[in-house]
Amino acid sequence: MSLSTKKPLLAVIGRSNTGKSSLCRLLAPRSAARLIKVGKKPGVTRGPREIDNGDYTIVDLPGFGYMAHASKKFQGDVQDRIIGFIEERHREVFLAIEVLNIEAFRTAFDKHKDASIPFDKELFDFLQEFEIPTVVLANKADKLRENAVDAEMAYVTEALGLRGLPSFPPGNLLPFSAKEGAGVAVLKEKIRTYLEAFTRD
């Protein structure tokens, strides 16, 4: 998986253990998908990993937040690497996918919102500052009761400030299940649309 700056980049970003690498496996060619490590413990992806996907390159960025057996300094360094990547290469990114664990999002967000801006929100706002089109993927929706999905999606909308945001179409918040493949066709269509718009500019 060699680094490439010649193709547009699809940046996959999110907390540790939200299913980012599983998503990359769904999007990547079969030959590359086999090489993408997926683990139950947070912190499997330790640095930006670039995967050639034909017309574009998938960038699987390391997960931020809690990682088992990792120091706070290491976790801070990971966040710095994510921010540095966006600052340095934002012009190459045609779409960012911020992956959330919809089952655990409310608990994680509420834990920090009174003390500071949770990094989920900070990261989303940072992407908007660089005018990077963004899809927020509410992964693990299959783990919620059907009648709970709408409530959790509404919570994400309010927490990230998505309602009425000119740079964020309402359809860019997607319920998803990397495990079951639910939502993959819709996501791939969005990726294709943004890629075509990017390459035309």
Number of Cβ within 10 Å of residue 47's Cβ equals 10
pTM reported for the whole predicted model: 0.87
Q: How far apart are the first and last CA of the chain?
A: 27
Q: Is the pLDDT of residue 45 over 90?
A: no
**Domain boundaries in the chain?**
9-200
Mean of the per-residue pLDDT values for the chain? 86
Average pLDDT over residues 87-95: 96
Domain 9-200 coded CATH 2.100.10.30: no
> pLDDT: is 85 or 40 the higher one?
85
Q: What percent of the chain has pLDDT over 70?
A: 82
pLDDT of residue 185: 95
Identify the weakest region by mean pLDDT among 31-40, 117-126, 169-178. Answer: 31-40
Structure tokens at 50: 């670039």
Number of Cβ within 10 Å of residue 18's Cβ equals 30
Tell me how far apart the alpha carbons of residues 66 and 80 are, in angstroms, rounded to a whole number.
15
Q: Is the pLDDT of residue 42 over 50?
A: no
pLDDT of residue 3: 44
Q: For the segment 63-81, what is each residue's pLDDT rounded down to a tens digit?
A: 886 555 556 776 678 888 8
What one-letter code names the amino acid at 38? V
Tell me how far apart the alpha carbons of residues 17 and 65 are, in angstroms, rounded to a whole number.
10
